[in-house]
Chain A
Amino acid sequence: MGQPMDSTLSWSAHQVLQEAARCLYCHDAPCVVRCPVGIKVPEFIRKIVTGNYEGAANVIYQSNVFGAICADVCPQIELCGKDCNTRNMGEAISIARLQQFAVQQGQKVVATPVAIQGKKIAVVGAGPAGLSGAYALAGRGYEVVVFEGRPYGGGTAAWGIPSYRLSPSVLERDLARIGEVVRDIRYSTVVGQDVSVEELLTDYDAVLLGCGLGHGETMRIAGEGLPGVLSAEQLLASLNAGTKGAEPRAGHEMDRVIVIGGGNTAMDVACVVKRAGASKVVVMYRRSLEEMPAWREEYESAAALGVEFRFRTAPTAILGTDRVQALSCTDMKLKEGEIMGGRLEPVVGSEYQLAVDTVVIAIGQGKNRLIEQFGNSAKVFIAGDAGNGGATVVQAVAEGQKAALAIDEFLQAVNTGGEGQL
């Protein structure tokens, strides 16, 4: 309980074999049903048991081009492991560990034969949704061009996930494998600036938007513009190794840090800053622990690192002259007659100040405004965070793959003139 979740603590081959042998090899297995991309989990585990590691890796990659990345970052307890039948006689199989092992052992890349279809597809965003969609489309013979505003690929997996949970080498492995099939990725190319929306809509037969969420929400309190106030996105991108140093650092020493928010991103931010050496890191959340949306294991690993929590507390103003010096905050309570999750109000007279040098706002990111610019053209498809408002990497991969199928169907229908029969 409460162990920091490090992907770097990988298992020995012997541990892996022992664990794989525990798998019940269920019929109609719940782990497959629970996996957003439907990895045939019992099949790949069986292949580990028989020593067919290449085959195991192929089973994983057939369903998920982010196979190595997801092995590190998937919330197994929430997904494949949730209904694992071995729970009825002990612990769920550590599917993620087995997947980590398989993708490390079996490195064979199956080159996809490309049949030219004569259709061009623009993909916006080189993150999990965009790249998984692009991979599926390129594999079907479409000409795919990926536009990525950042100078590196991987999207949220690159900038948003701490490197102790996803090592840059694992990220790089999947991206390189994808790059064998998706050959035209245009980095540092911002759609709407370096290339226009009109151009994409005119020059391409279909557009897949995997552009992720918009910028971080603001709290609308005084002092948000002060140096030392960062969005979760800025903070994570500046410290995570997946960005290859392409993002600017905070520019000052972060020693006393307040993280505002109660989601998984807030937990990640708190852990990253704490691991980077901050002496005091406080997560401030306006409701109670029970109401906090972060997964319990994320909260526990943050607490185990020494991150402090202030529940039922809200910021009222950020104070400082030329940079952040303190945060003014207040206790919160449920309004009269409200039950858990209901409306809140400040506790009168409870206001106090905390001396801080950094405030990170992790209360969620807004919708990506870029999407609106594409209007509602039939040739535009949306996948991943851009459409679902923010979920897991594997969910984005699933949606990217699903969108690719939808685009394929759409273009086939256009080909045969049967557009109306979708």
Chain B
Amino acid sequence: MPDLRLRFCGIDYSNPFVLAASPCTDDEEMVARAFSLGWAGAVLKTTSVETEVVNLAYPMMSGLDYAGQRLIALQNIDLISEHHVDVVEKRIVRLKKEFPDKVVVASIMGKSQADWQSLVRRLEAAGADMIECSFSCPHGMPEKGMGSTIGQNPELTELNARWIKEAAKKIPVVIKLTPQIADITAAAAAVKRSGADGVCAINTVKGIIGVDIDNYAPLPQVNGKSCIGGISGPAIKPVALRCVAEIARKVDIPITATGGISNWRDAVEFLLLGARNLQLCTIVMQHGFRVIDDLVDGLDNYLGRQGIARVEDLVGRALPNLVEHSQLPRGHKALSALVADRCLKCGRCYLACRDGGHQAINLGSDRLPIIDKEKCVGCGFCAAACPVDGCLYMQLQTT
């Protein structure tokens, strides 16, 4: 049986799956239930010093649907936890007592050196295994000089991270980064220079999930008004994968990945691009803590099929195949090819190639596509447009 254990910043996790700082982890009973179901760790919802005012606005979430599919993305305008450090300290004590083998990470946000350092000291004393710092919250907090205001500036990132790392006696410090920055590797490098132990990539992507076209107001609607918020869920996975890979290639620092991970396949993809730890939230909010079963089972079966003994061996395995555009192989030819018995005869490849490609697909009298090898340049769009996986594919030509 494959070994799913994975060490991140010196801490051993029984599997790579951790609940991200979110509503899922804003309650002790919820975290306890998640641990019982098999989650290896949890980042408790971001807390702050007792004087911090957290002024929430409701409703705070709105989903993006596409073609009948609910929640391909989620916008939230939630803020940090309403529970201050005094409450979280007690929760950590109890959770660690009940679940000594689970990893309890305290997430914090402060606006001064004193805030940050006092939070770290108190939570470490309470028994937190790790500290995660939000330098990345995209809404609400930046207006107060917090959150992504820090993460978007590598100098501020380094300065704040150094304060936090200095305050932590033994436990590792992880800085959560924002994708709202031209070069995320500059922020990761700043974390590395500060002496902090790891990075979390990425926080939500700043966005507007939609507009209510009947009432002329963006979503989510707070009694007629809205604000820009953080987008999460499957739609942001490509951005998160890119950020993780960029950091992994350039900065020697452990990465805990988050951003659209919804199933074991996504998990494998993030591991292959260099993540050593995986945080989930939106999919859990949608389907419950029970999704841990298939995350673990799917990963386990995948490793078995691939003949890979340890999940550790996946980390970064796809990175050598991520190159610059100029370094891509040239001179070969890959052309569209059809697995005829999978074809639904819908003609979508024909339309895609006619109006979005090179007019290289014709339909036969039996409605099966016929690929004109002279005209096909091998762009690959027909394979993407085909509604059936593995029906149209790109076949490498041997000369």
Bitwise, B328-343 to A at CB < 8 A (1) or not (0) is: 0000000000000001
For the complex, give the distance between the alpha carbons of A29 and B343 in Å: 15
- Residues in B with CB closer than 8 Å to A86 are 344
Tell whether, in the assembled complex, residue B68 and residue A18 are in contact, meaning their CB atoms are under 8 Å apart. yes
Given A24-B387, A28-B363, A89-B388, residue A17 in contact with residue B68 (CB < 8 A): yes
Residue of A nearest to B66 (CB): A21
A220 contacts the other chain (CB 8 A): no
Tell whether, in the assembled complex, residue A26 and residue B68 are in contact, meaning their CB atoms are under 8 Å apart. no
Tell whether, in the assembled complex, residue B350 and residue A27 are in contact, meaning their CB atoms are under 8 Å apart. yes
Bitwise, B361-396 to A at CB < 8 A (1) or not (0) is: 001000100000000000000000001100000000
Least CB distance, B393 to chain A, in whole angstroms: 17
- Residues in A with CB closer than 8 Å to B69 are 21
Residue of A nearest to B352 (CB): A27
Which of the residues A18, A20, A27, A88 comes within 8 Å of B348, measured between beta carbons?
Answer: A27
Least CB distance, A155 to chain B, in whole angstroms: 37
- Residues in B with CB closer than 8 Å to A88 are 343-345
For the complex, give the distance between the alpha carbons of A294 and B343 in Å: 33
A374 contacts the other chain (CB 8 A): no
Candidate in B343, B344, B348, B351 with the most chain A CB atoms within 10 angstroms: B344
For the complex, give the distance between the alpha carbons of A88 and B388 in Å: 11
Candidate in B67, B343, B345, B346 with the most chain A CB atoms within 10 angstroms: B346
Least CB distance, B340 to chain A, in whole angstroms: 12
For the complex, give the distance between the alpha carbons of A27 and B67 in Å: 19
Tell whether, in the assembled complex, residue A20 and residue B344 are in contact, meaning their CB atoms are under 8 Å apart. no
B207 contacts the other chain (CB 8 A): no
Tell whether, in the assembled complex, residue A49 and residue B67 are in contact, meaning their CB atoms are under 8 Å apart. yes
Tell whether, in the assembled complex, residue A89 and residue B67 are in contact, meaning their CB atoms are under 8 Å apart. no
Residue of B nearest to A22 (CB): B68
Bitwise, A70-96 to B at CB < 8 A (1) or not (0) is: 000000000000000110110000000
- Residues in A with CB closer than 8 Å to B363 are 27-28
- Residues in B with CB closer than 8 Å to A25 are 346, 348
Tell whether, in the assembled complex, residue A21 and residue B348 are in contact, meaning their CB atoms are under 8 Å apart. no
- Residues in B with CB closer than 8 Å to A17 are 68
- Residues in B with CB closer than 8 Å to A49 are 67-68
Residue of B nearest to A27 (CB): B347
- Residues in B with CB closer than 8 Å to A29 are 347
Least CB distance, B195 to chain A, in whole angstroms: 51
Bitwise, B255-276 to A at CB < 8 A (1) or not (0) is: 0000000000000000000000
Candidate in A17, A25, A27, A29 with the most chain B CB atoms within 10 angstroms: A27
- Residues in A with CB closer than 8 Å to B367 are 28
Chain A interface SS verdict (over half): helix
Bitwise, B55-88 to A at CB < 8 A (1) or not (0) is: 0000000000001110000000000000000000
Which of the residues B343, B346, B387, B388 comes within 8 Å of A27, measured between beta carbons?
Answer: B346
Residue of B nearest to A86 (CB): B344
For the complex, give the distance between the alpha carbons of A211 and B347 in Å: 41
Given A17-B68, A49-B67, residue A27 in contact with residue B344 (CB < 8 A): no
Tell whether, in the assembled complex, residue B68 and residue A24 are in contact, meaning their CB atoms are under 8 Å apart. no
- Residues in B with CB closer than 8 Å to A26 are 345-348
Least CB distance, B210 to chain A, in whole angstroms: 12
Interface size class of B (residues with CB under 8 A): 10 to 19
For the complex, give the distance between the alpha carbons of A161 and B70 in Å: 40
Tell whether, in the assembled complex, residue B344 and residue A85 are in contact, meaning their CB atoms are under 8 Å apart. yes
Tell whether, in the assembled complex, residue B346 and residue A85 are in contact, meaning their CB atoms are under 8 Å apart. yes
Tell whether, in the assembled complex, residue A21 and residue B347 are in contact, meaning their CB atoms are under 8 Å apart. no
- Residues in A with CB closer than 8 Å to B388 are 89
Tell whether, in the assembled complex, residue A24 and residue B67 are in contact, meaning their CB atoms are under 8 Å apart. no
Which of the residues A18, A20, A21, A85 comes within 8 Å of B345, measured between beta carbons?
Answer: A85
Residue of B nearest to A87 (CB): B344
Least CB distance, A66 to chain B, in whole angstroms: 28
List B22-46 residues whose CB lies under 8 Å from chain A: none
Least CB distance, B138 to chain A, in whole angstroms: 29
- Residues in A with CB closer than 8 Å to B387 are 24
List A1-42 residues whose CB lies under 8 Å from chain B: 17-18, 20-21, 24-29
For the complex, give the distance between the alpha carbons of A26 and B69 in Å: 20
- Residues in B with CB closer than 8 Å to A28 are 347, 363, 367
Residue of A nearest to B69 (CB): A21
Candidate in B69, B347, B363, B388 with the most chain A CB atoms within 10 angstroms: B347
For the complex, give the distance between the alpha carbons of A29 and B351 in Å: 12
For the complex, give the distance between the alpha carbons of A29 and B345 in Å: 9
For the complex, give the distance between the alpha carbons of A28 and B347 in Å: 8
For the complex, give the distance between the alpha carbons of A132 and B165 in Å: 81
For the complex, give the distance between the alpha carbons of A21 and B351 in Å: 18
For the complex, give the distance between the alpha carbons of A16 and B73 in Å: 22
- Residues in B with CB closer than 8 Å to A24 are 344, 346, 348, 387
Residue of A nearest to B343 (CB): A88
- Residues in A with CB closer than 8 Å to B344 are 24, 85-86, 88-89
Residue of A nearest to B341 (CB): A88
For the complex, give the distance between the alpha carbons of A85 and B351 in Å: 16
Least CB distance, A15 to chain B, in whole angstroms: 10
Residue of A nearest to B213 (CB): A51
List A82-115 residues whose CB lies under 8 Å from chain B: 85-86, 88-89
- Residues in A with CB closer than 8 Å to B348 are 24-27
- Residues in A with CB closer than 8 Å to B343 are 88
Residue of B nearest to A89 (CB): B344
For the complex, give the distance between the alpha carbons of A55 and B344 in Å: 27
Least CB distance, A121 to chain B, in whole angstroms: 40
Residue of B nearest to A19 (CB): B68
For the complex, give the distance between the alpha carbons of A56 and B103 in Å: 54
List A105-159 residues whose CB lies under 8 Å from chain B: none
Least CB distance, B375 to chain A, in whole angstroms: 18
Least CB distance, A243 to chain B, in whole angstroms: 40
Residue of B nearest to A42 (CB): B346
For the complex, give the distance between the alpha carbons of A394 and B58 in Å: 52
For the complex, give the distance between the alpha carbons of A365 and B122 in Å: 93
Residue of B nearest to A51 (CB): B213
Candidate in A49, A85, A89 with the most chain B CB atoms within 10 angstroms: A85
- Residues in B with CB closer than 8 Å to A18 are 68
For the complex, give the distance between the alpha carbons of A85 and B343 in Å: 9
Least CB distance, B353 to chain A, in whole angstroms: 11
Least CB distance, A57 to chain B, in whole angstroms: 19
Which of the residues A21, A27, A89 comes within 8 Å of B68, measured between beta carbons?
Answer: A21
Least CB distance, B347 to chain A, in whole angstroms: 3
For the complex, give the distance between the alpha carbons of A63 and B351 in Å: 24
19 A–B contacts from the bound complex (CB under 8 Å)? A18-B68, A24-B344, A24-B346, A24-B348, A25-B348, A26-B345, A26-B346, A26-B347, A27-B347, A27-B350, A27-B363, A28-B363, A29-B347, A85-B345, A85-B346, A86-B344, A88-B343, A88-B344, A89-B388
Given contacts A25-B348, A88-B344, 6 further A-B pairs with CB under 8 A are A20-B68, A21-B69, A24-B387, A25-B346, A27-B350, A85-B346
Chain B interface residues (CB < 8 Å from chain A): 67-69, 343-348, 350-351, 363, 367, 387-388
Across the A-B interface, give the 7 residue pairs with the lowest CB-CB distance, nearest first.
A27-B347, A21-B68, A24-B346, A26-B346, A88-B344, A21-B67, A85-B344
